[in-house]
Amino acid sequence: MEITAAHLAIFKNIIEQYQHNTRITTKDYWQQLDNNALWLWLVGQVMVVGGAASNDRFQSREDLKQKISYDALSKYTDDKALQTVINAVLRAAGVRYASSDLERCMKSKALVHNYRFIANYKGGFKGLLHHLVQMKDEQERISFLMQHLKFIKHKSARDFLMSMGINTNTLALDIRIQNIFRHFEINFPTQAQLSSKGIYDTTEAEIIEKICKPLNIEPAIFDRILYQNYNEIIGRKEKQTI
């Protein structure tokens, strides 16, 4: 990835212009949340695979959130009964790939797995996060989530850890960041290519080394600036001056 002095000047200006309007997660924000809030965040991450609109519908429906709440699901000891409830909520929210055939509904199967894994921790989801923060290496935390939680990949694992105020030296490389870099004529991997661990890790490391460090900006903050101010940044005219 070639980052020129002109690119650095553009990103420096973006940081200066938008940082004060960007919501930055405080360190250890997860401690302010309960198991249900953490669980519903994870449910949303699984829902948005293939389309984000369903999570917006889900978040606006208190009845659906109640049915799939962390405590409400604890009464189901049978996995099929648990999946049936989860599947019904996914379908009511219009989640993509939520088949009415339980055997074919990979998202409800994934959420059953995730719930059982999380509930196995003393203290539930907060117990899991307490375990994660004991890991000193940020990449180890990412690998742990990807290994043990289904539908949690490179981007979503990082997004979760940054949103919870746990990781600070990582980037959630999504389509918005890809579009911003390409807008400023910087070669950037496709979303399909970023599914490769090697390509994702290399791209993340290059952005940190070539942009974040020279501009003295924490990677997690840089990520949030680009994501939250996407429309304004894409509308900028610097591209014409590179």
What percentage of the chain reaches a pLDDT higher than 90?
A: 83
For residues 161-181, average pLDDT: 94
Every domain of the chain and the residues it spans: 5-25+171-241, 29-153
Q: Is the pLDDT of residue 239 over 60?
A: no
CATH of 29-153, one of 2.40.50, 1.10.340, 1.10.1060, 2.30.30: 1.10.340
Output b/e per residue, 48-68; b: 16+ Cβ within 10 A. bbeeeebbeebeeeeebbeeb
Instruction: Provide the 8-state DSSP code for 52.
Output: S
Here the tokens at position 67 are 């049915």
Which amino acid appears at position 223 of this protein?
A: D
User: Which residues 6+ apart lie within 8 Å of 203 measured at CB?
Assistant: 1, 173, 188, 189, 194
Per-residue confidence band for 52, with pLDDT thresholds at 50, 70 and 90: confident
Q: Calculate the average pLDDT of the chain.
A: 92
Closest CA to 119 of 163, 191, 71: 71
**What mean pLDDT comes out for the span 22-42?**
94
Cβ–Cβ < 8 Å for 1, 35: no
pLDDT at 145: 96
Dihedral angle computed from the Cα positions of residues 81, 82, 87 and 92, in that order, rounded to the nearest 10 degrees: 100
pLDDT in tens, 122-164: 999 999 999 999 998 999 999 999 999 999 999 999 999 999 9
Distance CA 242, CA 2 (A): 13
